[in-house]
Amino acid sequence: MKNLFQPYDVSLESEMLEPLDFNRRSRLKETDRCFKAEILNVIRLTDMEKLFQVRILDESEGERFSFLPGQFVMVEVPGYGEIPISISSSTSRTGYVELCIRRAGIVTGALHRAKRGAHIGIRGPFGTHFPIETMKGYDVLLIAGGLGLAPLRSSIFAVIENRADFENVHILYGTKSPDQLLFDYQYEEWGRIDDIDLQVIVEEPDNEWTGPVGLITKLLDGIEIDPQRTFAIVCGPPVMFKFVCSRLSEQGMPMRRMFISLERRMHCGMGKCCRCNIGSTFTCMEGPVFDYWTVMNLKEAI
Ligand SMILES: Cc1cc2nc3c(=O)[nH]c(=O)nc-3n(C[C@H](O)[C@H](O)[C@H](O)COP(=O)(O)OP(=O)(O)OC[C@H]3O[C@@H](n4cnc5c(N)ncnc54)[C@H](O)[C@@H]3O)c2cc1C
Ligand code: FES
């Protein structure tokens, strides 16, 4: 009979777990720490979105913190909960990260009420990233709808800060109305960068709007794309990236060259709680960035 009082051999368990790793345990070690952080600054972008500049309190931890475009952090607001938020700043910025947050419910509501100096927790960075390195030497389409500019913004910085590494660059952005445009104070600056085509469209213009009107796919009409020489990153609501990606697909762009970010409800952010899975795919670990081919093969992904 098994002796229930025999000391439990932990090393045996870790040996047994090895084949089931799926590359998760090694990544957990780097990301399961919660950093104490401080809100340095809050910038109002629209009625619904604010930009939070967040600094990790421990200076050496802060210096070590790095991420890649498209990755996200879990933001903990003490007493309210923890939520996934994409990092919106440039990967080259040191000292703080920027998070663009829409007021949606309990945690985001608490954040929108928070003042400069408020303390929060940050875990991460988590998830897959947009393959900016692979895109070097190619034409690049950076397309966002609405809040999609938040996860796309760090890729925009990565491309414009290394402009010479890419061929033609188009940034296309669309929202419902002009008052919903995010980061409008930066368009002029981005548009001035060497040879970058930046176009903004709205569905419902106000009296002052002089730009194009319609859906974001309308902007694609005016762009000549060499499908075999182009990569695309498309961020926004599923209905938007479905239309944009199928349109690019029809033009001959390989599905493996289009990248999107899938959002799911998340709890742990590191493959433990099974809140974010689509079938056997954990969006927090294998995503949120996927190529379009993978998304189309994930049942119920969009
Ligand atoms: C990888 C990832 C990156 C994200 N990046 C950003 C970002 O950069 N900026 C940003 O503003 N938001 C982002 N989100 C969405 C954000 O996490 C949710 O808005 C947030 O969790 C809502 O929390 P809450 O407590 O305020 O809302 P709750 O009180 O929990 O819910 C309020 C409403 O928000 C909806 N909601 C809750 N969670 C999500 C979710 N994950 N996706 C969509 N709707 C949700 C609920 O259905 C409900 O209608 C991201 C989500 C993921 C998964
Ligand atoms: S959020 Fe917990 S498994 Fe993905």
Distance 271 CA to ligand 2 centre (A): 4
Task: Clarify whether residues 234 and 172 are in a common domain.
Answer: yes
In a domain, 3, yes or no: no
Task: Clarify whether residues 40 and 95 are in a common domain.
Answer: yes
Residue that terminates a domain, selected from 98, 126, 154 = 126
Which structural domain, as residue segments, surrounds residue 148?
A: 132-296
Task: Clarify whether residues 165 and 290 are in a common domain.
Answer: yes
pLDDT given for residue 14 in this prediction = 39
pLDDT given for residue 278 in this prediction = 85
**pTM of this prediction exceeds 0.85:** yes
Sign of the dihedral defined by the CA atoms of residues 200, 202, 208, 211, in that order: positive
279 — pLDDT class (breaks 50, 70, 90): confident
In a domain, 62, yes or no: yes
Whichever domain contains 159, its CATH number is 3.40.50.80
Residue that terminates a domain, selected from 93, 126, 159 = 126
* Among the listed residues 151, 199, 198, the one whose alpha carbon sits nearest the alpha carbon of residue 49: 151
Whichever domain contains 100, its CATH number is 2.40.30.10
What is Dmax (Cα atoms) for the chain? 83
Mean pLDDT of 256-281: 88
CB 247 within 8 A of CB 219: no
Residue 4 has pLDDT above 50, yes or no: no
Task: Clarify whether residues 98 and 188 are in a common domain.
Answer: no
| CA of 274, closest atom in ligand 2 | 3
The lowest-confidence range among 72-81, 199-208, 281-290 is 281-290
CB 107 within 8 A of CB 82: yes
Residues lining ligand 1, Cβ inside 6 A: 72, 81, 83-86, 100-102, 104-109, 147, 150-151, 263-266, 288
In a domain, 7, yes or no: no
31 — pLDDT class (breaks 50, 70, 90): low
In a domain, 15, yes or no: no
Task: Clarify whether residues 250 and 114 are in a common domain.
Answer: no
In a domain, 16, yes or no: no
In a domain, 82, yes or no: yes
Among 126, 266, 286, the mutation site with the greatest number of ligand 2 atoms within 8 A of its Cβ is 266
Distance 266 CA to ligand 1 centre (A): 9
Task: Clarify whether residues 219 and 118 are in a common domain.
Answer: no
Task: Clarify whether residues 139 and 288 are in a common domain.
Answer: yes
Task: Clarify whether residues 137 and 63 are in a common domain.
Answer: no
302 — pLDDT class (breaks 50, 70, 90): low
pLDDT given for residue 37 in this prediction = 97
Task: Clarify whether residues 216 and 275 are in a common domain.
Answer: yes
Task: Clarify whether residues 46 and 138 are in a common domain.
Answer: no
Distance 3 CA to ligand 1 centre (A): 49
pLDDT given for residue 259 in this prediction = 96
In a domain, 147, yes or no: yes
Q: For residue range 110-168, what is the model confidence (pLDDT) as tens digits?
A: 999 999 999 999 999 999 999 999 999 999 999 999 999 999 999 999 999 999 999 99
Task: Clarify whether residues 75 and 38 are in a common domain.
Answer: yes
* Among the listed residues 219, 76, 100, 230, the one whose alpha carbon sits nearest the alpha carbon of residue 154: 100
Task: Clarify whether residues 228 and 253 are in a common domain.
Answer: yes
pLDDT given for residue 11 in this prediction = 42
Our count of domains for the chain comes to 2
Residue that terminates a domain, selected from 75, 98, 126 = 126
Q: How high does pLDDT run on average in the chain?
A: 88
pLDDT given for residue 280 in this prediction = 83
pLDDT given for residue 1 in this prediction = 44
| Helices marked H in 137-270 | 149-160, 187-192, 216-221, 238-250
